[in-house]
Amino acid sequence: MDPVPELDLSADAVTLTQQLVDIESVSLDERAIADAVEVALRGLGHLSVTRRGHTVVARTELGLGERVVIAGHLDTVPVNGNLPCVREQTPDGEVLHGLGTCDMKGGDAVILRLAATVPAPVRDVTYVLYEAEEIDSEFNGLRLLALSDPELLTADFAILMEPSNASVEAGCQGTLKADVRTTGERAHSARSWKGVNAVHKAGDILDRLAAYDARQPVIDGLAYHEGLNAVGIRGGVAGNVIPDECVVSINFRYAPDRSADEAEGFVRDFFDGYEVIVTDNAPGALPGLDRPAAKAFVEAVGGEVAPKFGWTDVARFTALDVPAVNFGPGDPTYAHKADEHVRAAEILHCEDTLRLWLTQDQSIGGGEG
C-alpha cells in the first residue's frame, strides 16, 4: 500500500492548498486524499472524526446551542495537463495554478485550517470533506452520508466552500440531463432513399434549441438565468450505412423556483414529438435569505449576495431543511478549465472571514450571544 500523503495543518492556507492540489483526486479515486485528510484531522484532539467511504467528517462536541456545517468536496474533474500546482507571483498578488485550485481545494484548505486552529468556536462546527461531487449524484458523498448518518449533517446552517469569488452566492439552479432520440431506418448509403436518416431528423431538435428563449426569474431579489443546451450528439453505424438512431444529449439548468418534476415536464413539452430519456435530475435550492441563520451570516460577511447559477450541494442541505449558502475562494468561471487557478488573497480572505464568524459572540439567528 502506498504511504499516506502528509498534510501540514500548521502551514498557511495557501501552502495547504498546494499540498491538497498535488494529491491527485479525480472522482472515484479519492482514497489517497481522504486518507491524508483523515490522518491529519485525527491528530486534533478537540474533534471527533468519522469516515464513511472517502468522506471524512470532523465535529466539535461542545454542547453549544447552535451548529454549523462547513463542507467541501475532495474530488476533481480529470487531469488536463494541469498538475502539479504552480505558484506564481503577479503584480496583483500570488496566484495558484492547477487542477482543483479553484474547484475546490482552496476551500478545502480553509476548512482544514479552521478545523485545526479554532478549537473553541462560539458555535459547534461540523467539517465535512466528501467524495464524488463532480460526477453523477448516485456517488455523491453528501448524498450517501445523508442516507447512512443523517445526524452528522444536522445543523442550523451550512456553508459550501464552492468557488464564489470569496463572496456569498445564495441558492443554486437545478440541473437536468436527458437524451432526446430520433429513429430512422438503416440502408446502404448508395441507396439512401431506401432508408430514413435519423441524424438528419435531429436537425429539428437543434433548431428548437437554437431558438430557445431563456427564462430569467427574480427570486428573493436575485436574478437567475436558465439555460437549455445540447452538450453532445451521437449517431452513425458505418461510413456506408444510413443511421437508424441519433441521440442529442441536453442539459437544462433551471431556476430554483421550479421543482424537479416541473423541470422534467418543461423539457418533455419542449421536445414534444420526440423520445426523451431523463438520465439525471438534481433540483436546485431557493436562496432562503429570509431564514434568520442565512441573514445573520450574510450580514457578518458584508451584506453582499449574488445568485448561484451552477448546481451545488447547497440543494442537498435545503432538502434536509438546513439553510445554506456558497462561500469560497476562486472564480467559478475557471472551474474545470485547463488554466484553472485561484488567487491566494481570496483563500486568506475566506479563512479570515470564517474564523471571525466562528469566534465572534453573535448568534447565527441574528441576536447577541
67 in helix, strand or coil? strand
Q: Between the CA atoms of 356, 357, 361 and 367, what dihedral angle is there, to the nearest 10 degrees? A: 150
Q: Checking DSSP bridges between strand 157-160 and strand 124-130, what pairing results, if any?
A: unpaired
Give the helix/strand (H/E) hosting 181: strand 174-183
Region of residue 231 (left: phi > 0; alpha: psi -120 to 50; beta: else): alpha
For 108-171, the three-class secondary structure string (H helix, E strand, C coil) is HHHHHHHHHHCCCCCCEEEEEEECCCCCCHHHCHHHHHHHHCHHHHCCCEEEECCCCCCCEEEC
Q: Between the CA atoms of 196, 200, 205 and 206, what dihedral angle is there, to the nearest 10 degrees? A: 170
Is 133 part of the annotated catalytic residue set? yes
Q: For residue 313, give the nearest of 49, 78, 47, 135 by alpha carbon.
A: 135
| Alpha-carbon span 71 to 22, nearest angstrom | 20
Is 346 part of the annotated catalytic residue set? no
Q: 204: which residues sit within 8 A by CB, 6+ positions away?
A: none
Choosing from 38, 103, 133, 226, the catalytic residue is 133
| Alpha-carbon span 209 to 54, nearest angstrom | 39
Q: Is the bond preceding 84 in cis, omega lying within 30 degrees of 0?
A: yes
Choosing from 30, 35, 75, 162, the catalytic residue is 75
How far from 91 is each of 94, 95, 230, CA to CA, in Å?
A: 8, 10, 40
| Alpha-carbon span 74 to 132, nearest angstrom | 8
Catalytic machinery residues: 75, 133
